Chain A
Amino acid sequence: MTFARLLRNAAVLACLLPLLAHAETTLRVGLAEDPDVLDPSLARSFVGRIVFAALCDKLVDIDEQLHIVPQLATSWEWSADGKTLTMKLRSGVVFHDGEKFDAAAVKYNIERHKTLPGSSRRGELAPVASVDAVDATTVRFNLSQPFSPLLAQLADRAGMMVSPKAAQAAGDQFGSKPVCSGPYKFVERIAQDRMVLERFPQYWNKDAARFDKVVYLPITDATVRLANLRSGQLDFIERVSPSDIKKIEAEKKFKVARITEIGYQGVTINIAKSDLAQKNPLGRDERVREAFELALDRQGLAQVVAEGEATPGNQWVSPSNFYYDQDIPIPKRDIAKARALLKEAGVVDPTFTLMAPTTSEGQKLAQVIQAMEREAGFDVKIQSTEFATSLTLANQGRFEAYVLGWSGRADPDGNLYSFYGCKQPLNDHGTCHPEVDKLLDQSRALRDPVERKKVYAQIAAIVLKERGIVYLYHRNWLWAYNPKLTGVRQLPDGLFRISGVSMAP
Chain B
Amino acid sequence: MLAYLIKRLATIVPTLLFVSMLIFGLQQLLPGDPAQVLAGEDQDPTVIAYLHAKLHLDRPLPVRYAYWVGGVFTGDLGESVRSQQPVTRLVAEKLPVTFELACLAMTIALAIGIPAGIVSAVGRGSWWDYAANVFALWGLSTPNFWLGILMILLFSVELGWLPASGYVSPFVDLRANLAAMIMPAFVLGNAIAAVLMRHTRSAMLQVLSADYVRTARAKGLSEPVVVLKHGLRNALTPIITLGALEFGTLLSGAVLTEQVFTIPGFGKLIVDSVFNRDYSVVQGVVLVTATSYIVLNLLADLASFVVNPRLRR
A residues lining the B interface (CB < 8 Å): 34, 36-37, 39, 42, 44-46, 117-120, 122-123, 172-173, 175-176, 190-194, 217, 219-221, 223-224, 227-228, 230-233, 386-392, 395, 406-407, 418, 425-426
B170 at the interface (CB under 8 A from A): no
Whether B43 lies near A387 (C-beta < 8 A) is: no
Q: Are B165 and A118 in contact (CB under 8 A)?
A: no
B90 at the interface (CB under 8 A from A): yes
Residues of chain B within 8 A of A120, CB atoms compared: 39-40, 42, 44, 47
Contacting pair B275 A387 (CB below 8 A)? yes
Besides the known contacts A118-B54, A233-B164, A406-B41, 15 further A-B residue pairs in the complex with CB atoms under 8 A apart = A44-B38, A45-B40, A120-B47, A123-B47, A190-B93, A227-B156, A228-B165, A233-B166, A387-B275, A388-B33, A388-B36, A391-B37, A392-B33, A395-B43, A418-B43
Kindly state whether residue B67 has any CB partner on chain A within 8 Å. no
Chain B residues with Cβ below 8 Å from A217 are 165-166, 262
Decide: A191 and B90 in contact? CB cutoff 8 A.
Answer: yes
Residue B209 interfacial (CB < 8 Å): no
- Which 4 pairs between the two chains have the least Cβ-Cβ distance? A44-B40, A388-B32, A193-B264, A231-B156
Chain B positions within 8 Å of A123 at CB level: 42, 44, 46-47
Q: Give A343 Cβ to nearest chain B Cβ, in Å.
A: 38
Q: How far is the CB of B178 from the nearest CB of chain A, in Å?
A: 16
With most chain B CB atoms within 10 A of its CB, the pick from A233, A418, A426 is A233
Q: Please determine whether B264 and A192 come into contact, CB atoms closer than 8 angstroms.
A: yes
Asked if B152 is an interface residue, CB under 8 A from chain A, the answer is yes
Q: Is A228 in contact with B43, judged by CB distance below 8 angstroms? A: no
Smallest beta-carbon distance A173→chain B, Å: 7
- Report which B residues bind A (CB closer than 8 A): 30-34, 36-47, 50-51, 54, 80, 82-85, 90, 93-94, 149, 152-153, 156-157, 160, 163-167, 259-262, 264, 268-269, 272, 275-277
Interface centre among A231, A390, A395 (most CB of B within 10 A): A231
A425 touches B50 (CB 8 A): no
Pick from A224, A231, A386, A407: contact of B149, CB under 8 Å:
A224
Q: A217-B262, A388-B36, A425-B44 are in contact. Are A36 and B160 (CB under 8 A)?
A: no
B39 near A221 with CB under 8 A, answer no
Chain B residues, Cβ within 8 Å of A117: 50
> Residues of A contacting B82 with CB < 8 Å?
36-37
Closest chain A residue, CB of each to CB of B149: A223
- A192 and B84 within 8 A (CB): no
Which residues from B are CB-within-8-Å of A42?
A: 84
A44 contacts B42, C-beta separation under 8 Å = yes
Q: Given A36-B83, A118-B51, A231-B160, are A392 and B36 neighbors across the interface (CB < 8 Å)? A: yes
Contact check, A224 vs B152: say whether CB atoms are below 8 A apart: yes
Contacts of B262 on A, CB cut-off 8 Å? Answer: 193, 217, 219, 224, 228
Q: B277's closest neighbor in chain A, by CB?
A: A388
B93: which A residues are within 8 A, CB to CB? 190-191
Residue of B33, B39, B45, B163 near A231 (CB, 8 A) is: B163
Q: How many angstroms between the C-alpha atoms of A425 and B85 in the bound complex?
A: 28
Contact with A391, one of B30, B36, B50, B269 (Cβ below 8 angstroms): B36
Q: 9 interchain pairs (CB within 8 A)? A: A37-B82, A122-B46, A172-B84, A194-B264, A220-B272, A224-B152, A224-B259, A388-B31, A391-B33
Q: Are A193 and B160 in contact (CB under 8 A)?
A: no
Q: Which residues of B contact A392 (CB under 8 A)?
A: 31-33, 36
Inside 8 A of B156's CB, which chain A residues have their CB?
227-228, 230-231, 233
Q: Tell me the complex Cα distance, A447–B47, Å.
A: 29
A118 to B, closest residue via Cβ: B50
Q: Is the CB of A37 within 8 A of B83?
A: yes
Query: What is the CB-to-nearest-CB distance from A46 to chain B, in angstroms, rounded to a whole number?
Result: 8
Residues of B near A389 (CB, < 8 A) are 31-32
Given the complex, which residues of B lie within 8 Å of A46, measured CB to CB? Answer: 41
Q: Please tell me which one of the listed residues B83, B160, B260 contacts residue A232 in the complex, with CB atoms under 8 A apart.
A: B160
Q: Is the CB of A227 within 8 A of B157?
A: yes
Chain B min CB distance to A450 (Å): 29
Name the residue on B nearest A263 (C-beta).
Answer: B41
